[in-house]
Structure formats: structure tokens, C-alpha cells
Amino acid sequence: MSAGVFSPDSLDKPIPQDCPAGLGLGFGVVLLASMLMLAPAVWAASAADIKNPSASPAIGTGPTLKLGYGPDVFGDNSTASFLYFVRLISPEPVSTLTSPGSTQMARVVSARRSFGRDSFAVKCDFEITGQGFQENHFDLGNIIRRHEARLKAGGVVRRQLNSITVAGAGSGRFEISGTVSNGVPVVMEVRLQFDVRGRVSPVLIELCDLRCRDGQFLHQDEVEARVSSLTFRRQSGLPKMEVGVASVSAKGAGKSLWHSLTGGVKGMVANLFIPPLLVQPIGNQAMLDFGQALVAGESSFTFPLARNLTADKSHLGISR
């Protein structure tokens, strides 16, 4: 079977041997809703911030992921490589930090597929193992410069995406769906679920408000949200990424009220707290291409080169 092409007798069959299968809650809800309603779009990128990937193509490539698919054919990857797409989707410069002595690794461990005549669905489970963390920190300098006069006049730029961190181990799943035309699958959606098999998502995002005090730009009112899912779609116009949120807390709050909100409040958080985010077209396409590689059972996938990756955080110039 050639890569990316499937015969009718493959329909609805699993991938072969190498791919098996304190405060009152009411008050807290009101407080949370009030906080969320104050928040404009997170990751305040405008159309002008989204670069045309064909304008000046990148030279070189990003990391290559090993895709094992089976319990005895693991392809181990560093968490930094596994999450390289974060650098590709961000409109802002990104710096990375891996904890000293980190043993975190990520790998695809199984895949199952179901094909109809016009559509398909593929599920690939992945694991993040080991200890440590991997952080992607976004440079908010461009946002500060765009709003400098407002900030210096005492204004606030609310709910900016400051970082994405993967801490510790976890279990996740790629859920890939699309259409089939002349036997060729075309990926339309890639969803990363980070909390499958009853495991808590290891993915945290940090948001902050930007203010200016005594001439210094500050991160304040910092909030953490535990991410349950990220969704990428093939779409017209500038692409957006949808973010599903499992829980929210004030930074450093620990197991407080914010971590215990459930049910309808979760839905409210997902709908109001994190609106769909504009992402770079090259990053959105990379995730669709990655999904295509998983559908085809490829043994590896190479990311394009991220052009907005910075070496360290020393250039940020923002106090905490």
C-alpha cells in the first residue's frame, strides 16, 4: 500500500501488527464569570502579525519525530521536539526552557483507523513519560510596543498568553478526521487531547495582564489554565486554533476553588476564557501535515523550521 492511499478492503480495520490499538461555589462561579467577561481575545495577534509563509521560505528544517505506533516499537522523542509545533503556530517570538536533568520523553504508542467511502477517522494515542518540564515562553514585547502609549497612560492589556508548559507525565490522543477522494485521505481536522485514560493533562498555559508602573512593564494578575485539548482545522482565511480548558486557577493557588470547578462552568471557561487564537499558517499546515503522516502510518515526520525561535529569555525586559 502506498503512503496516503488506502484500498477499500482497509476500511474499518485496525492498523496491522505495528499499529495496535472555602468560597461557596455560587460565589466562585459569579467571580469567575466576571473575570472572564473582562477578558478580550487572548494572544492578541492581528492579521498584520500573521506572516505569509510563502513570502520568504525558511531554509532548513525542524526536528524529526520518530513514530512507532506499537507497544514494542516505540519511537522516543524529546518533549521539546514533540511540541515543536508551538514555535510554529506562535505569532510572537518564542524562547524555550527545559528543566535541568529532565527525563521527559514523548512517543506515539498506538493507532486505530476507520475509513468510509467519503470520510475517515484515525486515533493515535501518545504518552509523555519521565520527570521535569518543558516551557515555551512568548515574547510580549511586540504587544507592549503596540500598546505602549496606552500602558504608560495607566491602561491595561488583559489576558495575554505568556507561556505553555508541559510538566511531568501524561496520556494523550491525536484525533484526526477528514475526507476520502479517489482513495486518498485528506486531513481536515487534527485534535490533540491531553487528558485521556483518566489522566490529568500535563499541559498548562499562563496568562497575564500587562501594566506599566514607574516606567517598567509588568506581568500582573497571572492565571493558569490546564489545557484539555488543542484543535487545528483546514480552513479558509487566517487559521485559528481552538483551546479546550479543563480547569483554571490564580497562579500558585494550588488545589483551590479554581481547580474544582466542573460541569457547566468548564463549558463556560472553554467558551469565554480562551477564544480561538490566530496562528501562523505555517504552523497550522504543519499540524495538518503531521496528521497526514499519522494517517498514512509514516515512520517519521519532520517539522518545518521555526523562524521565530529565540535562544533565551534575557531579551524580554519584563519584570514580575
Tell me: the pLDDT tens digits for 75-107? 689 999 999 999 999 988 999 999 999 999 999
Query: For residue 85, what is the DSSP state?
Result: H
For residues 190 and 178, is the Cβ–Cβ distance under 8 A? no
Alpha-carbon distances of 131 from 101, 104, 159, 169, 215, rounded to whole Å: 9, 5, 29, 7, 39
Tell me the three cell numbers of residue 298: 509514516
Q: Residue 124 and residue 273: Cα distance in Å, rounded?
A: 28
For residues 160 and 142, is the Cβ–Cβ distance under 8 A? no
Give the ranges where the chain is alpha helix by DSSP (H): 25-37, 79-82, 85-89, 141-146, 148-152, 257-260, 264-268, 281-296
Q: Residue 222 and residue 142: Cα distance in Å, rounded?
A: 19
The pLDDT tens digits of the residues spanning 9-68 come to 333 333 333 333 333 434 344 444 444 444 444 555 555 555 554 444 445 799 999 998
Strand partners, 170: 128
Question: How much is the pLDDT for 68?
Answer: 80
Question: How much is the pLDDT for 220?
Answer: 83
**How far is C-alpha 219 from the chain's CA centre?**
22
Hey, how many other C-beta atoms are within 10 angstroms of the C-beta on 233? Answer: 18
For residues 171 and 163, is the Cβ–Cβ distance under 8 A? no
**How far is C-alpha 78 from the chain's CA centre?**
16
Question: How much is the pLDDT for 75?
Answer: 67
Hey, how many other C-beta atoms are within 10 angstroms of the C-beta on 28? Answer: 17
Tell me the three cell numbers of residue 21: 490499538
Question: How much is the pLDDT for 118?
Answer: 94
Tell me the three cell numbers of residue 83: 511540541
Question: How much is the pLDDT for 314?
Answer: 33
pTM of the entire predicted model: 0.77
Alpha-carbon distances of 295 from 70, 77, 82, 125, rounded to whole Å: 15, 19, 17, 13
Question: How much is the pLDDT for 2?
Answer: 35
